[in-house]
Chain A
Amino acid sequence: MRCLRMLVRILVLLYLAGAPALAQTLCQPNASNGYRVRISIKTALGNQAYEWNENEMFLFRATMAFAMRRYYKTETYNVDNIIVCNQTRRVSFWFVVISPENPTMLIPKADVEKAVSMSRHRINNAFLLTDRTLEFLGIYPTLAEPVNPDTPPWLIVFGVVIGAVFAGIIALLVSSLLQKRRKEKGMMEDGQDEEDRQMKGVENGINLDGIYNRGFTDDDRFTKL
């Protein structure tokens, strides 16, 4: 009995010891179901760059587990399901995802890609990085949809300018038209007075036109005694 219990314990110990080693062999550079990650913290953050250490790696594995949970809509994924290997100073490393039900089975590449694409924005923000500085080699970031306003902005500016110009043209034309009319009316009124005066002159029989001739004085009346 004791021998059997010892054997079981040894087997369990061996299994527990071997599992990580087994898992480790699943993660290799250029693994068929793994992805390479490249991180450029100094490029992204400059002076406020943080150092990449084991805690940051833990956060990465937790974020990836979150992404897998979100994609499969299940709560079975854990930090242990994300295996990381081949870390370099560049900061780049390989990772694979193992299935929570079967530790020897890797999640296929396509599913990992879809999970990453779905939560890319969240993953980037967890590290204060962007698509360019947190690269998943082989997963291309979806191009940002350009903002397409209903009316192109240039048309608005054009509308304002052309409206102002036409308003100005009409204002200037109308004002010069009014000026001309006023001038004509002024000349016409002078002509009207002339006619009236002539009529009156004819009516009275005396021609009131002309300039008074001061050479001809009417002081004969006074000098006559």
Chain B
Amino acid sequence: MPEEGMEDNKEGEERPKWNNKAEYLLTCIGFAVGLGNVWRFPYLCQIYGGGAFLIPYLIALVFQGLPLLYLELAIGQRLRMGSIGVWNSISPYLGGVGVASMLVSFCVSLFYNTIVAWVLWYLFNSFQEPLPWSQCPLNHNNTGYVEECVESTPVNYFWYRQTLNITPNMETSGSLQWWLVVSLATAWSIVYICFVRGIKTIGKAVYFTATFPYLVLTIFLVRALTLPGSSEGLIYLFTPDWEILKNPQVWLDAATQIFFSLSVAFGGLISFSSYNSQKNNCEKDAVLVGVINSATSIYASIPIFAILGFKAHTNYVTCLNGNILALTNEFDISDMNITVENYEQWFDSLNGTHPSRVSDLKLKTCDLQTFLDQSASGTGLAFIVFTEAVISMPGSQVWAVLFFIMLFSLGLSSMFGNLEGILTPLHDLKLVPKWMPNELFTAIICLLLFLMALIFCLGSGNYWLEIFNSYVGSVPFLIIAFFEIIAVAYIYGIGRFSDDLEFMTGHRPNIFWKVCWLVISPLMLFVVLVAYVAVQAQTPPTYAAWNPDYVNFPNTEVLPYPDWVFAICVLLSSVPVISIPLVAIYRLICCMSGRHSKDSLHNNPNPYANEDYVVELLL
């Protein structure tokens, strides 16, 4: 049972507190706003009919995202413990939920910081003229460019070969790429320095990491709107296609996007709010964080798509210029007589008079729509598509540096939440020996995570990261969140929870929250979970491999997962959540054996029982 006035840890140490409300809010916002807001939402918006996608997205936010967010912040603030302690307090049988949160945060921290390391690598390389991904390197004897680069593009070559040094398939592990190890060490050192004094240092760091992305997005927005082709990109993004709403996949993706975007079920939000004073209006905080997170996603998609429109336009013009040059050289037409504007007329007239010569030239078909359709999400967007766009912008180094610092601060602020979801439960479980200072414990955890993440620095590291991302970063969260909401709404009791909320915020939650917690959110989560698993089960487990010897290179080769890898995928999805039933069974067994034991004194030790004092009945 949670005690009323539980203020301090049992060690007598006071629980750390936020310096001010702003630091707490910025930390929560920074945790929620991450890389996905920049590189996943705009992609979804684009493929699901632009403006129309906002409808399922906002519905999911209101009925699923905000109730879960409010719930997590509230229980953390009330019970003043990390995720394990909180769920142990609510119901000992559901203590596994906290353990699952911690395990999932652990796995996510591993691969998330590797992405941050890649961002750092690109950032370090942006301080060069010319940018290393703008041109192909020469081959050994300086006679030409490296073949792999010529067949694909310099940007692809820099990402797949000079950054990842990727192997052709998953069975080949390759060796440790030392430059990635160095970048990973830098990433973990920076995370550590922000965590050195716990939330004191985090609170200072988020003033920069949570606000800087907005500044950069605004700068990019202003710059992008002045580039040619940006308006085409924006029109393409926002043109609503209402028909798409009939496709259930859209609703599923909207729900999962909102869910993963808010970073619930990590345990990090519970930890952050546990450092608050109990009399804090967490309802306003939850609504604020949720709304800001979605607003950031929408705001970020504008400059991203303006720049993608510019890139499509540039590619289109380059394609046309290639054709123009071919025609000019073949027919000896005066230089620059054929331009982008009158290309169509020239082409028609030349094709009419000399069709055989024109067809021999093998001109490329240049269609702006095709270039606009070349969308990408995730690392492909940041490290391939966007870097290519940046090369064409005047002053490329500045834009590249700004972009990668923005990605770095987005990733770092999310890492704070991930790591907090590991450290606070371990502190609350009292697994930290008393002699060990907090700084040393944090250092050990960071070192352990760094050593384990070295697997992503191998040649096949990117393939493993995709596996972690798809299998750990998806289904376990849905399961954990479902159990969270069931635990609070039904096992803890909505009545008791409302009392707690009244104690904290000063008023009882209104009918909207109660209906959501009791019915709508669990139902939505359950449906999303089932649908997601069903869709995943139907897609064959394959991955896209970068193989220079592939027949259709530079297209990626689609390979199936080897059996042992698939077994690991299943393990990754199930092991974190297996702790939920395991802990429940363990507690049940303990409880049962406790009831059947004859010596009840030993099972319920009464600290005041003095066994030396025996009452002797004097007859």
Contacts and interface: CB of A to CB of B under 8 A. Distances in A.
B142 A143 contact: yes
Contacts of B322: none
Contacts of A168: 193
B335 A146 contact: no
Contacts of B333: 89-90
Contacts of A40: 335-336
A169 B124 contact: no
A41 B329 CA distance: 14
A165 B138 contact: no
Contacts, number: 75
Interface string A34-51: 000011111100000000
Contacts of A41: 335
Given A88-B332, A173-B196, A154 B125 contact: yes
Contact of B189 (A154, A156, A165, A176): A165
6 contacts: A42-B335, A90-B328, A90-B329, A90-B332, A143-B145, A157-B124
A153 interface: yes
Interface of A: 38-43, 88-92, 143, 145-146, 153-158, 161-162, 165-166, 168-169, 172-173, 176, 180
B193 A172 contact: yes
Given A40-B335, A172-B201, A158 B193 contact: no
A37 B333 CA distance: 15
Contact of A90 (B123, B183, B334): B334
B197 interface: yes
Given A143-B144, A153-B128, A158-B124, A176 B439 contact: yes
Nearest to B189: A165
Contact of B196 (A43, A157, A172): A172
Interface residues of B, number: 34
Contacts of A88: 332
Given A40-B335, A43-B336, A172-B201, 8 more contacts: A43-B335, A89-B333, A143-B144, A145-B142, A153-B125, A161-B186, A165-B186, A173-B196
B127 interface: yes
Interface in B117-138: 120-121, 123-125, 127-128, 135, 137-138
B317 to A, nearest CB: 14
A154 B126 CA distance: 8
Contact of A157 (B127, B143, B192, B332): B127
Which of A145, A158, A173 counts the most chain B CB atoms within 10 A?
A158
Which of B137, B144, B193, B196 counts the most chain A CB atoms within 10 A?
B193
A100 to B, nearest CB: 32
Nearest to A92: B332
Closest 9 A/B residue pairs (Cβ): A42-B336, A154-B124, A90-B332, A88-B332, A157-B124, A89-B334, A154-B125, A40-B335, A42-B335
A136 B460 CA distance: 45
B385 to A, nearest CB: 22
B585 interface: no
A153 B186 CA distance: 16
A168 B186 CA distance: 13
Nearest to A162: B186
A176 B127 contact: no
Contacts of A166: 189
B190 interface: yes
A166 B189 CA distance: 8
A176 to B, nearest CB: 7
B182 interface: yes
A92 B331 CA distance: 11
Interface in B174-188: 182-183, 185-186
B138 A143 contact: yes
Contacts of A154: 121, 124-125, 127-128
A68 B425 CA distance: 81
Given A153-B128, A158-B124, A165 B193 contact: yes
Contacts of A90: 328-329, 332-335
Contacts of A91: 334-335
Contacts of A92: 332
A177 to B, nearest CB: 9
Interface string B542-574: 000000000000000000000000000000000
A70 B143 CA distance: 25
Contacts of A173: 196, 439
B342 to A, nearest CB: 15
Contact of A153 (B127, B193, B437): B127
A158 to B, nearest CB: 5
A165 to B, nearest CB: 5
Contacts of B183: 158
B157 to A, nearest CB: 14
Contacts of A143: 138, 142-145
Given A153-B127, A154-B127, A176-B197, A165 B190 contact: yes
Nearest to A52: B335
B23 to A, nearest CB: 17
A173 B128 CA distance: 34
Contacts of B328: 90
Contacts of B121: 154
Contacts of B336: 40, 42-43
A146 B201 contact: no
Given A41-B335, A43-B335, A153-B128, A169 B193 contact: yes
A121 B197 CA distance: 61
Which of B138, B143, B186, B335 counts the most chain A CB atoms within 10 A?
B335
A88 to B, nearest CB: 4
B357 to A, nearest CB: 15
A166 B127 CA distance: 22
A165 B193 CA distance: 7
Contact of B197 (A156, A161, A162, A172): A172
A145 B124 CA distance: 23
Contacts of A42: 335-336
B189 A162 contact: yes
A218 to B, nearest CB: 41
A42 B325 CA distance: 13
B402 to A, nearest CB: 15
Contacts of A145: 138, 142
B329 A38 contact: yes
Nearest to A142: B142
A180 B439 CA distance: 12
A38 to B, nearest CB: 7
A94 B335 CA distance: 17
A158 B182 contact: yes
Contacts of B120: 161
Contacts of A162: 185-186, 189
Contacts of B439: 173, 176
A205 B124 CA distance: 76
A176 B332 CA distance: 77
A152 B128 CA distance: 9
